[in-house]
Structure 1
Amino acid sequence: MYTAFMILIIMVVVGLIFGLILAVANKKFAIESNPLIHLVEEALPKGQCGACGYAGCIAYAEAVVTDPDVSPSLCIPGKAVVAKMVAELTGKAAAEVEPRVARIKCGGSADKAVNAFRYSGIQDCVAANYTQGGHKGCKYGCLGFGTCVKACPFDALEMGANGLPVVNQKLCTGCGACETACPKKVIAMQPLGAKVTVDCSSKDKGAAARKLCASACIACGLCVKNCPHGAAKMEDNLAVVDPHICETICSEATCTAKCPTGAILKLI
């Protein structure tokens, strides 16, 4: 009984000593938190999307407050409104933030694209891509399992009945989380005011691309020939359109009317 009592006393004393040491250490080495960091974090949309290049909103808030070289305009989802607020809080100048939105660069819906084989594995685009690049004949096309939908922190994507994701432009902030999640890279960010988009990502040559997908770009070059402003060009058998030229100069998107497969779509 006496031994047990002494052990208990020793444990209490040791606990008090360690508690005192920890209390002194905590007071001595405590790091004062800058309240401005939390004010900036409160101004951010809390999407934790990483579009700013930092691991979450609090990391960006800390960086923009403590580092004079970090721009207050890096929060893409927050757009110009948040950039202005962060700039005012940190005393920095806000750069212009161009509104952007996600575009699905694939028209290979279930009724237009050919499948190379039947896939019955994990219903995830990344997993399917590890299986010979996926089940689609076109190895550049959307796999249709909605990995991008799951990755969107703003619920701006949903899977359409045709097997392709659909973007809700009212909810899309252009953060790029879906673009990063897509293993086929068929999602790209475009300026909100873009007038046309190329609804294809295939690098296959014309005949081969058309054989695998009815809406594929066949690299015919008609869009290039019929664009009076030089906004369209061919790169790796795929039409590429400069959205800024279209937005500022073009009054009529003639390239969309000339495209024989409908791979170039008019947006506005």
Structure 2
Amino acid sequence: MNETVLFAVLSLSAIGVASAVILYFVAQKFKVIEDPRIDVVNEILPGANCGGCGLAGCRAFAEELVKTGDLSKLNCPVGGSDTMKQIASVLGLEAEEKEPMIAVVRCNGSRINAPQKVIFDGAESCAFAHALSAGESGCPNGCLGLGDCVVSCKFDAIYISPETGLPVVSDEKCVACGACVTACPRKIIELRKKGKKDRRIFVSCVNTEKGGPAKKNCSVACIGCGKCVKECPYDAITMQNNLAYIDYDKCRLCRKCAPVCPTGAILETNFPLRKEKPGEPGTEKVAEPVTAG
């Protein structure tokens, strides 16, 4: 009996030692030596793990930066230019200065502009409503206002306005991570350049219906008339599928397009009020009432 127990113990010990030796050599052969710069870069990153860089998180972004050694196609929207410059100094590279971006809501179909025609009674989710209906206003491309974009934002930079029922983006909080862009099933949210002095001009409509149906559902819809295209001196506006689009790289913020839009679909953000010119619509003087003395 004792010999049997001793033999079993020795056999198990021998198997254990042999397994340990095999595992050691396997570990040495397949050992991955990680570049210490990855930890340094990861410490510089904001740690938001928002996916705005196009990768799974900050750690994956740091690994990709060190692996490729190229900053031209990689950018952290949360950290911005300052963060990328710090990373560049660690990696011995140069960081290209990139203009800050911001999320822009390209829909102005508020409760006044796009009145409710039906009532949606279902899950409070834009993705769910988009799969089942055209929306309460009847516009098949307009904002559904159920807040999938709000839920997706990790920075509290977007909320649904109780007055208009549309998303509102905070200029101060938005980091252009793109989470709201991905979350919106109607693709009405776009990342655009913030612009000089935070000024932007864009077509606040994504409806591709023809003029009549589009105007029927929303009074400020783009009707594809093409007047803005003809007016732009910089070829920054194109027309496709009955919808105008302003290229922010070509746009010089001259503001010539907005006044000619018959529906007011082109929005101007953070500009000073226009100076009224005699003869323009809406500038006629109204006679003041005369008070008998």
How many residues are matched? 265
Give CA-to-partner distance per residue, 1:161-184, whole Å, 9 cap, x none: 111110001111112111111100
Question: 1:219 pairs with 216, 224, 230, which one?
Answer: 224
Matching of residue 206 in structure 1 with residue 207 in structure 2: no
Distance 1:234 1:27, change over 3 A: closer
Residue equivalent to 1:236 = 241
Distance 1:91 1:212, change over 3 A: same
Letter matched to residue 40 of structure 2 = L
Secondary structure of 1:158's counterpart equals strand
Residue equivalent to 1:170 = 172
Residue equivalent to 2:287 = none
Tell me the distance in 2 between the aligned counterparts of 1:150 and 1:137.
24
Distance 1:73 1:94, change over 3 A: farther
CA contact (8 A) 1:204 1:237 kept: yes
CA contact (8 A) 1:105 1:200 kept: yes
Secondary structure of 2:250's counterpart equals helix
TM-score normalised to the size of structure 2? 0.78
Matches within 5 A, 1:1-80: 30-69=31-70, 71=72, 73-80=74-81
Tell me the distance in 2 between the aligned counterparts of 1:68 and 1:195.
34
**Identity over aligned pairs, percent:** 40
Secondary structure of 2:257's counterpart equals helix
Residue equivalent to 1:138 = 139
Secondary structure of 1:201's counterpart equals coil
Tell me the distance in 1 between the aligned counterparts of 2:72 and 2:232.
37
Tell me the distance in 2 between the aligned counterparts of 1:85 and 1:73.
14
Residue equivalent to 2:257 = 255
Tell me the distance in 1 between the aligned counterparts of 2:64 and 2:148.
30
CA contact (8 A) 2:101 2:176 kept: yes
Letter matched to residue 236 of structure 1 = N
CA contact (8 A) 1:72 1:86 kept: no
Secondary structure of 1:245's counterpart equals coil
CA contact (8 A) 2:108 2:205 kept: yes
CA contact (8 A) 2:135 2:142 kept: no
Tell me the distance in 2 between the aligned counterparts of 1:134 and 1:13.
71
User: Alpha carbon RMSD of aligned pairs, Å?
Assistant: 3.0
Tell me the distance in 1 between the aligned counterparts of 2:26 and 2:233.
72
Letter matched to residue 261 of structure 1 = T
Matches within 5 A, 1:66-105: 66-69=67-70, 71=72, 73-105=74-106
| Gap regions ≥5 residues in structure 1 | none
Matching of residue 181 in structure 1 with residue 183 in structure 2: yes
CA contact (8 A) 2:75 2:84 kept: yes
Letter matched to residue 201 of structure 2 = V
Letter matched to residue 171 of structure 1 = K
Letter matched to residue 113 of structure 1 = A
CA contact (8 A) 1:72 1:92 kept: no
TM-score normalised to the size of structure 1? 0.85
